Amino acid sequence: MLTLGFALAVGGAAIAVALAGMGSAEGVGIAGQAGSGALTEDPNLFGRVLLLQALPGTQGIYGLIAGFFIALKIGLIGGSPHGLSVEQGLSIFFAALPIALVGWISGASQGRTSAATIQMITKRPEELGKAMVLPAMVETYAVFSLLATLLFVINIPVK
Amino acid sequence: MPIAEMKKVKIIFYKEHKEKVLDVLQRLGAVEIEEVSTREETGATTDIENKLADMKFALDFLSRYDVRSKEFWESIYGEKHYLSFEEFEERIRKIAFGKLAGNARELEREIAETKSRIAQLEAEYKALEPWKGKGVLLEVLWRGTDRLEGFVGTIPAQDFESFKKEVEAATKYAALVEADVPQNQPRLFALVYLKEEAGKVQDVIKRFTITPVSLPQRKGTPEEAQEEILKEIEEKRKWLAELEKDAQELARKIEDVQLAFDYLSIQRDKEEAAKRLFETEKTGLIVGWAKKKDVGRIKKVLEGVAREVEVIVEDPKEGEEPPVALENRRYFTKVYEPVVWLYGFPKYGTVDPVPWLAPFFFVFFGMCLGDMGYGIVLALLMFWMASHAPADAEGTKRFLHMLGVSAIAAIGVGIAANSWFGNLPEVLHIGFIARIKEKLMITDPLKDPMPFLGLSLALGVVHLFLGMFLNFFMVAKERGFVEALFDTGNWIVFLFGLVLLAVGVGRFPVLIRAGEYIAIVGAALIVVGVMRKEKNPILGFFRGLLALYGVTGYLGDVLSYARLLALGLSTSAIALVVNIMASLMAGVKIVGPIIFVIFMLIGHIFNLAISTLGAFVHTLRLQYVEFFSKFYQPGGREFSPFGIRTRFVIFRT
């Protein structure tokens, strides 16, 4: 049976996927612009550029995972929808906010960092390792927010 | 051993043998000649470099006029010619290098000139358009006559009338003709006046914002001039067609140009190598690196050149950094060398990561692509493309094999995860295949992602521990067991304890106990490890406690492997959607099945492409960011021996 609480929980899952995905889309897009510039100078850098461009994509994946977690928990996937109270639904909605918001903002931030490291490897192609670590540092916060969301969601009593 | 052992090679010879020694060395292709850092670079290009540049120009130019139809694989991998050394030298002797390059240059220059002249003429024609039917005589305007002068210019529309009035007022005789211009443009006019009144006319002109315009310097009316121009354009176009036919004729010889280009490249490389010789008055010395296993062959061939050629072989000295060549023998390991090519070679003497990452790349790629149908298609495609690669595209071939092998993993994962082009057997209502599919399935992540997620994270933990163990052994080898213990060993212990805790929670209380103890021991080792390096023990203790905070980094690393689930799921999910949407369309009368097939093809090809790309990039990223960061030391220089490098010729031995 569909309740308002259930709808709110779905809203949480949706927001996690959507906002985190937006962040990654923006980030990967920004990095891609820098990558195009790098490749006009030296097309041989393609493999490395592609890799660096993909780094900000993590937030979208984390959002998806958070969304799945919630969907599973509330029976949206793989089961029947639980009749959630408004309080339960709202709790889940709020629990989804960390990965949603942090994924959104950090995706773009990581994208800008990736763009900068792409420029770095046009001058120093051999420093791919360092070029990957710098954007990965931004990801730390996305990881923390995913952790928070997952921990919160797991511990919200449902049923 | 995965990183080839290298030896220092010194070749001494009399100068009279220099050419032969270099030739033989180049054909061997087994010795990397050391850079001589003290030599200055002169800015001047050598004769050979100039000839090579000419030939490259001819190549580029003639490729545009090359009308031969290319075989499919040639257009992908490039044109290749298979010749023996003797055949190659025979053909080179018959090529007139200078003439080829010279003709190409001349043709190009003339074609360019003709094209630009045609463009010029077309511009002239256009410039005369506004004057059609106005009855001006052009030569009066730009040359004048004994008594008359002309001026052509533009003026803002609103000023035109006042300008006209003032000119008429200021002069005895002046003729003003307006040309046809579009509505909101400045007015274009021609003014003819007596030479003696030039001053007065100039005064009037200066009082307005008038921009002079220069007309084509032709005679007669605009119509007559335009006809003349058209005739000229026609002539030039005919001439251009002739030139282009000549170029196509010359392009028939493009194979000669390709051979010449390769020949000159080889000579240029030899010239470069010769710069790296040490020379005295009568002797020469080459210093370089070679693989230990090639040394015997090198000695035999070189010392066969002349009695006075001597090859000395030495071990690398302390502090020297020989170039790095990877030498993985087993096929399954060799195909993953491209992972290291992309990232950077390991430092000489450190670990070659390829054998360690191979199984993980295989499995992770499989999990990310996660569909049996896509795995089969991808594997077939990769091996098919690789089989048609020419002999000198070793790198590309290796890469294609890497993807092909990894695609096989996807077949296995797809079967286990209930994904055969998504749910295609069910959609097509092929009962018996659907039943087999279900029987072989182990877990369906679309119905219950948890097992798949658990597997992803567990494999991640194993991957990370492997990285840490590799580091442990590397540090132990370099700096001793104790150093390794307090550098990496402590973290291994600590994290292992935590893993036991995490696994045991809720299920095996004994593991919780064990985990707690082990984790505490590990934490203590970490704190002690920091205190060892700190002079002040109290400060060290707190610093040590702070260091434990690093556990969050490892946590993040483990969570990163959740992407295996996400990517695998997304492949299956999109495949499902494609199937569902195609089935909806199949219901349409008559054309339904056709639309169904087309939609399936497009949809699945699209999904295959993006899923493969995602699987490749993210699997690679897991190796680079999570795995390599634990132990890998890049910075090695790739072994690049002095040899024959050609673009079009492949030598048959």
Tally of CB atoms within 10 A around B444: 17
Task: Answer yes or no: is pLDDT of B43 > 70.
Answer: no
Average pLDDT over every residue of B219-237: 91
CB-side exposure of B206: number of CA atoms within 13 Å? 6
Residue type, B197: E
Distance CA B560, CA B627 (A): 11
Residue B343: the pLDDT is: 85
A-contacting residues of B 379-418, CB under 8 Å?
none
Which 8-state DSSP code applies to residue B172? S
Task: Answer yes or no: is pLDDT of B59 > 60.
Answer: yes
Q: Give the ipTM of the model, two decimals please.
A: 0.76
Query: Given A78, A128, A144, which is nearest B447 (Cβ)?
Result: A78
Average pLDDT over every residue of B78-102: 88
Average pLDDT over every residue of B412-422: 92
CB-based contact A48 B342, cutoff 8 Å: yes
Environment class of residue B67 by beta-carbon count within 10 Å: exposed (0-12), middle (13-18) or buried (19+)? exposed
Q: With an 8 Å Cβ cutoff, is A140 touching chain B?
A: yes
- The nearest CA of chain B is from the CA of A50 a distance in Å of 7
Residue B1: the pLDDT is: 47
Buried b (16+ CB within 10 A) or exposed e, B502-520: eebeeeeeebbebbeebbe
Average pLDDT over every residue of B606-622: 90
Average pLDDT over every residue of B585-598: 84
Residue B229: the pLDDT is: 93
DSSP string, B438-490: HHH-S--TTT--HHHHHHHHHHHHHHHHHHHHHHHHHHHHHH-HHHHIIIIIH
In chain A, which residues have pLDDT < 50?
none
Distance CA A139, CA A59 (A): 8
| Chain A partners within 8 Å of B635 (Cβ) | 126
Residues A100/A22, Cβ–Cβ less than 8 Å: no
Residues B208/B159, Cβ–Cβ less than 8 Å: yes
Residue A96: the pLDDT is: 96
- The residues, any chain, with a CB within 8 Å of residue B562's CB and separated by 6 or more, are A61, A62, A65, B453, B456, B457
Distance CA B466, CA B561 (A): 15
Report the SS3 class of residue A49: helix
| Chain B partners within 8 Å of A48 (Cβ) | 342
Average pLDDT over every residue of B99-110: 90
Average pLDDT over every residue of B206-221: 88
Mutual angle of helices A128-155 and A103-123, in 10-degree steps: 170
Query: Given B552, B566, B624, which is nearest A61 (Cβ)?
Result: B566
Closest of B388, B290, B384, B405 to residue B338, by C-alpha: B405
CB-based contact A51 B620, cutoff 8 Å: yes
- The residues, any chain, with a CB within 8 Å of residue A117's CB and separated by 6 or more, are A52, A130, A131, A132, A134, A135
Environment class of residue B331 by beta-carbon count within 10 Å: exposed (0-12), middle (13-18) or buried (19+)? exposed
* Mean residue pLDDT across chain B: 88
pLDDT digits (tens, 9 = 90+) for B325-346: 998 888 999 999 999 988 888 8
The H or E element spanning position B193 is: strand B187-194
Q: With an 8 Å Cβ cutoff, is B211 touching chain A?
A: no
Residue B215: the pLDDT is: 86
Residue A139: the pLDDT is: 85
CA of A62: which chain B residue's CA is closest?
B563
Q: With an 8 Å Cβ cutoff, is A47 touching chain B?
A: yes
pLDDT digits (tens, 9 = 90+) for B276-326: 888 888 988 899 999 999 999 998 898 888 888 888 999 988 888 899 999
pLDDT digits (tens, 9 = 90+) for B515-565: 889 999 998 888 888 888 878 888 888 888 888 888 888 888 898 899 899
Tally of CB atoms within 10 A around B561: 23
CB-based contact A129 B449, cutoff 8 Å: no
CB-based contact A128 B559, cutoff 8 Å: no
pLDDT digits (tens, 9 = 90+) for B357-404: 999 999 999 999 999 999 999 999 999 999 998 888 888 899 999 999
- The residues, any chain, with a CB within 8 Å of residue B327's CB and separated by 6 or more, are B1, B2, B3, B4, B291
Average pLDDT over every residue of B10-16: 89
Query: Given A54, A129, A147, which is nearest B621 (Cβ)?
Result: A54
